[in-house]
Chain A
C-alpha cells in the first residue's frame, strides 16, 4: 500500500502542511506538533518503502546475473536474459497489439484468461460460501458431505478436464468448470471452519437478543466468518489461476496458457519466459486484490 503523494504548491509556505492533514485527519492534533511529526512521518514512510523495495530488486538482479552467466552465450537450451531481451523485445514492449486471430499482445491473452477466471471463480465463490455455511452450521451436512469433499479436493485440476470435456463437449464451459472445481474446495473448507469457530459468546448474544435466523446470518454469522471466507477466497483465486493456465494449454484458442503452448510448439522459449513473468505478476495481483477486498469488507478484521 502506498500513500498518496503530497502535492506541494509553491504558494504554500509550509511544504509539509498537505501531508499533515492527510495523515492525521480525525482528530486534528495541535498544529505545532503535527508539522514536525508530519515531516518525520513522511520521512519514515519513504524509508519503509525503500526498505521494502530495495531487497527484492537486488535479489532479482542477482538472479538475472547468475542466470546470464549460467546460460552462457549459446542459443541451445535455456536462453539467457540478454537473449530473451533480444528475441522478445517486441513482445515485452508492445503488450497491446492485435493482428487478429491468436496473434495478439500478451495483455489480450492475459485478459481472456482473467475473464475466464473471473466467471469461474465468481461461481465457485458463491457456491463455496453457501456450501461452507451449510457444512459449518449443520452437523448432518458436515457428516455427509465433508468426507466426500476431502477426497474430491485432492483431485488435481487437470484430471477434471477430460471429464468436463466429455460432459460439456465445448472448450469454454469446460475451462470454466475446471476453474470452478479447482477453486471451490478451499472456499468451502475455510468458510465451514469459520462458521464452526464463531465464538459461543456471539451466539449467546444473538440468543439473548432473539435474533431471527436471517438477522443472525447477516449480523453475526457473515461478519464473524468474513476473515475465514477471505482466506479461502485468496487460496481459491490462486488455485484457479493455476488451473486456467494448465487447462488453456490443452483447450487452445486465446489465453495465456494457450500462448505458452503455442510458443513452445514454435520453439520460441524466450516468449514463454516473458509469458511466465506475466502469469506470475497477474497471479500476484489477483491475490493482493482479494486480500485488499477482504481487508476493506471486514473493515480491518481479516487475517492478511
Chain B
C-alpha cells in the first residue's frame, strides 16, 4: 500500500490547563496526495484550526502522528509554511523584507545573495505585489497584506502549504480576487495545499476534496467529499455546474441540517 504524501494518523489533541482538560480533536485520520488541494470546513470552535496547527507543528499531538513525506512532524518548519488568518506580517519590515526574511533563512546556505533576491521578487510577482516592494504592511490594504503573506509562504518552497482561513477577514470582492490568484498559483506550481475555511463556496470552488468536521469538543472528521470538477475552474462557469451545486448542497446539508450547532 502506497503511503500518502501527507498522512494524519489517529490524531487527538487534548489541552490541559491545571486540572481542567479539554479534548479538542479525537481520532482524526486524513491522507493527502501530492499536489492535492484539501479544505477543512466546520463550525467555529470545531478545532479545524487546531488540526492545521498540528500539521504545522505549532500544536503538539496528544495521540497519533502526522507524517509528511515519510517523516514525522514534531516541530514547526518551513516545509509546512503557514498563511495565517491575519497575515502576521512584521510591521517594521517592508513587503520585500518580510519575504526576504523567510528566503534568507530557508535558502541562506543553498542560494547566493543574488539568487535569493531574485527568488524574493519572483514570489512577489506570483501574487502581483511587485508594485509595493518598499511599502510597509500598514501602508497596504488587507488583501495586499494577505498576498504578501502568501508570497512569504510560497517562497519557503513548502512541501505542504497551510492556509488558515486566509481570506476570512477580507471583503467579498477582494476575497474572490485572491481565490482566483490561489487557484492560478496552485495550477502552475501544483503545491499540496491544506486550507481551513468556513466559507462553503470557497471550499467547493478551490478544493479537490472537502473535509467536514463535526462540532467540538471531541471533534472528528464527519465526512469527506470529493469535488470532481475539471481545472482550471472558472467561478462563473462553475456556478451552473451540477457537480459544484451538488458539492455545495452536500456541505451545507452537513453543516446546517445534520450537525446544527
Contacts and interface: CB of A to CB of B under 8 A. Distances in A.
B92 A209 contact: no
Contact of B56 (A208, A211, A219): A208
Contacts of A201: 84, 86, 88
B199 to A, nearest CB: 21
Nearest to A298: B92
A226 B92 CA distance: 10
A223 B90 contact: yes
A89 interface: no
Interface string B75-97: 11110111010101011100000
Contact of A210 (B76, B91, B136): B76
Contact of B102 (A209, A226, A299, A301): A209
A193 to B, nearest CB: 18
Contacts of B81: 208
B82 A208 contact: yes
B76 A207 contact: yes
Contacts of A210: 76-78, 105
Interface string B118-161: 00000000000000000010000000000000000000100000
A249 interface: no
A298 B138 CA distance: 14
Contacts of A299: 92, 136
A59 B83 CA distance: 55
B34 to A, nearest CB: 21
A199 B92 contact: no
Contacts of A219: 90, 101
A101 B10 CA distance: 84
B101 A208 contact: no
A208 B92 contact: no
B58 interface: yes
B182 interface: no
B105 A204 contact: no
A276 to B, nearest CB: 40
A202 B77 CA distance: 14
B92 A204 contact: no
B50 to A, nearest CB: 13
A204 B88 contact: yes
B82 A202 contact: no
Nearest to A207: B76
Interface residues of B, number: 22
**Interface extent on A, as a size class?**
10 to 19
B106 interface: yes
Interface string A197-227: 0010110110111110001000110011010
A209 B101 contact: yes
Contacts of B101: 209, 219
Contacts of B106: 209
A215 B106 CA distance: 13
A207 B156 CA distance: 13
A298 B81 CA distance: 28
A204 B102 CA distance: 13
Nearest to A199: B88
With most chain B CB atoms within 10 A of its CB, the pick from A202, A204, A299 is A204
A219 B100 CA distance: 12
A204 B58 contact: yes
Contact of B90 (A205, A207, A298): A205
A294 B107 CA distance: 33
Contacts of B105: 209-211, 215
Contacts of A211: 105
A199 B86 CA distance: 11
Nearest to B77: A210
A84 B80 CA distance: 73
Interchain residue pairs A-B with the least CB separation, the first 6: A201-B88, A207-B76, A223-B92, A209-B105, A208-B76, A205-B88
Given A219-B90, A223-B92, 17 more contacts: A201-B84, A201-B88, A202-B90, A204-B56, A204-B84, A205-B84, A207-B58, A208-B76, A208-B77, A208-B81, A209-B101, A210-B78, A211-B105, A219-B101, A224-B90, A226-B92, A299-B92
Interface of A: 199, 201-202, 204-205, 207-211, 215, 219-220, 223-224, 226, 298-299, 301
Interface of B: 56-58, 75-78, 80-82, 84, 86, 88, 90-92, 101-102, 105-106, 136, 156
11 contacts: A201-B84, A201-B88, A204-B58, A204-B82, A204-B88, A208-B77, A208-B81, A209-B105, A210-B76, A299-B92, A301-B91
